[in-house]
């Protein structure tokens, strides 16, 4: 016979309600009681019946997480933050990868909706796509999107300030001819604005032909850097919109005989684990990746508990981590 919540309560000397509170991580319970109940759960091998629990609460206790590129080291760190917070509240995470493709993003979100997840955390490519699914009254937490909708909340990093910090750093190093390689995400519009504001603050010229965009991947970093330095040999520094692009930029500089940072300084964005492994180690704008995931999941839980409440955006700070590439 499977172990029941009643069995756990009897063995631990507590009420069934107390066991339920421990399992669901709810209510005020003393540490000693919680530890005693958890010890009994482990000893008896009790497993909560999520289906029965869902019938009572009208929830699946599963949330969806849509990321843009699982091969980008930025996203696994965010996903870990989501997973750890979800696990602490007895939720499962259904992970989907839209592969930087707006059409795949639609299919991904449809998959999550078909799975009847309680809510969704997403890095959106298109606001119109998310708006379509948000109309289903399903709680959405968007990361780095300022979309306004009754069922949508946002977790924002200060992308504008991050880009401006990068330009400030390059300008103080004496660089006046600076190129930029962007990706194609919604949040990057703020990085462009921050980059341009930094140039203006230092009296530097905004030259559109020095700004290239494309898929935010290593290969694109190589291609774009080769194009920038071939068409604009005067460029002495390049700001890229993620660390993969920056790694590609460094590789291209080596192929072109440009020393980093002596002949061309490189700055990335995200400060993933990759940044310290690149040769030379990469200067990068650090985003609080794990915290982004934790905060996003916490916000989704709050939206589930208070569906009629409006939640203001959460803003997280960034910082510039200076290494040897500048």
| Model confidence pLDDT, tens digit, residues 150-185 | 778 999 999 999 999 999 999 999 999 999 999 876
Q: Are β-strands 283-286 and 319-321 bridged in parallel, bridged antiparallel, or unpaired?
A: antiparallel
Q: Does domain 159-286 have CATH number 3.40.50.2300?
A: yes
- Tell me, what's the pLDDT at 196? 95
> What superfamily in CATH does domain 5-48 come from?
lambda repressor-like DNA-binding domains (1.10.260.40)
- Tell me, what's the pLDDT at 187? 53
* Region 59-157+289-316: CATH code: 3.40.50.2300
pLDDT at 132 over 70: no
Which percentage of the chain shows pLDDT scores above 70? 90
Domains 59-157+289-316 and 159-286 share a fold: yes
The mean pLDDT of 10-20, rounded to a whole number, is 87
Select the more confidently predicted residue: 17 or 293. 293
pLDDT at 70 over 80: yes
- Tell me, what's the pLDDT at 109? 81
Global pTM reads 0.81
Q: How far apart are CA 238 and CA 301, in angstroms?
A: 40
Where are the chain's structural domains? 5-48, 59-157+289-316, 159-286
């Amino acid at each position: 016979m499977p172990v029941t919540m009643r069995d756990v309560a009897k063995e631990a000397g507590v009420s069934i309600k107390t066991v339920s509170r421990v399992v669901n991580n709810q209510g005020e319970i003393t540490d000693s009681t919680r530890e005693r109940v958890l010890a009994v759960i482990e000893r008896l091998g009790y497993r909560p019946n999520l289906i029965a629990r869902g019938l009572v609460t009208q929830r699946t206790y599963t949330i969806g997480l849509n990321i843009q590129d699982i091969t980008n080291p930025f996203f696994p760190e965010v996903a870990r933050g989501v997973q750890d917070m979800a696990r602490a509240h007895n939720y499962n995470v259904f992970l989907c990868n839209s592969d930087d493709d707006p059409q795949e993003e639609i299919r991904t979100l449809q998959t999550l909706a078909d799975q009847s997840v309680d809510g969704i955390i997403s890095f959106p490519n298109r606001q119109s796509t998310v708006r379509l699914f948000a109309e289903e009254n399903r709680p959405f937490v968007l990361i780095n999107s300022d979309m306004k909708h009754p069922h949508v909340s946002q977790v924002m990093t200060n992308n504008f300030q991050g880009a401006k910090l990068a330009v400030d750093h390059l300008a103080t190093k004496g660089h006046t001819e600076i190129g930029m390689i962007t990706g194609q995400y919604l949040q990057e519009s703020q990085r462009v604005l921050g980059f341009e504001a930094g140039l203006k603050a230092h009296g530097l010229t905004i030259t559109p032909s020095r700004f290239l965009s494309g898929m935010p991947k290593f290969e694109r970093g190589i291609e774009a850097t080769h194009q920038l330095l071939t068409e604009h040999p005067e460029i002495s520094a390049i700001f890229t919109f993620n660390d993969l692009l920056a790694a590609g930029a460094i590789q291209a500089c080596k192929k072109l005989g440009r020393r980093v940072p002596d002949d061309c300084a490189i700055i990335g964005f995200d400060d993933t684990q990759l940044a310290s492994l690149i040769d030379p180690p990469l200067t990068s704008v650090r985003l609080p990746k794990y915290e982004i995931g934790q905060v996003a999941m916490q916000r989704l839980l709050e939206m589930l508990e208070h569906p009629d409440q409006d939640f203001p955006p959460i803003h997280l700070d960034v910082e510039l981590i200076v290494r040897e590439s500048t």
